[in-house]
Amino acid sequence: MRQLIAGNWKMNGLGQAAFAEIEALRAGLAADPPHADVLVCPPATLIARAHWAAKGAFPLGGQDCHAQASGAFTGDVSAEMLKDAGATWVIVGHSERRQYHHESDADVAAKARAAWRAGLTAIVCIGETERERMDGHTLDVVSRQLGASVPDGATPQNTVIAYEPIWAIGTGKTPTSAEIAEVHAHIRKIVGAGTRILYGGSVKPSNAKEILGLADVDGALVGGASLKAQDFLALIAAAAERS
Ligand code: PGA
- Ligand 1 center–CA 164 separation, angstroms: 8
- Among 51, 66, 80, 94, the one annotated catalytic: 94
Question: Quick one: CATH architecture of 4-242?
Answer: Alpha-Beta Barrel (3.20)
Per the annotation, the verdict on 179 as an active-site residue is no
| Measured distance CA(169)–CA(203) in Å, rounded | 9
pLDDT score recorded for residue 60:
98
What dihedral angle (degrees, nearest 10) is formed by the CA atoms of 172, 177, 180, 184? Answer: 140
Enclosing H/E stretch for 178 = helix 177-191
pLDDT score recorded for residue 45:
98
Residue bearing the CA closest to ligand 1, atom 7:
223
What is the mean pLDDT for each group of 10 consecutive residues in the chain (243 residues)? 97 96 97 96 98 97 98 98 98 98 98 98 98 98 98 97 97 96 98 97 96 97 98 96 81
Q: At what angle do helices 229-237 and 205-212 cross, to 10 degrees?
A: 30
- Ligand 1 center–CA 72 separation, angstroms: 31
pLDDT score recorded for residue 141:
98
| Measured distance CA(217)–CA(221) in Å, rounded | 11
Q: What is the pTM of this model?
A: 0.98
Return the ligand 1 atom nearest residue 162 CA.
Answer: 9
Contacts of 23 (CB under 8 A, 6+ apart): 53
Return the ligand 1 atom nearest residue 171 CA.
Answer: 5
Q: Return the half-sphere exposure (C-beta side, CA atoms, 13 A cut-off) of residue 236.
A: 28
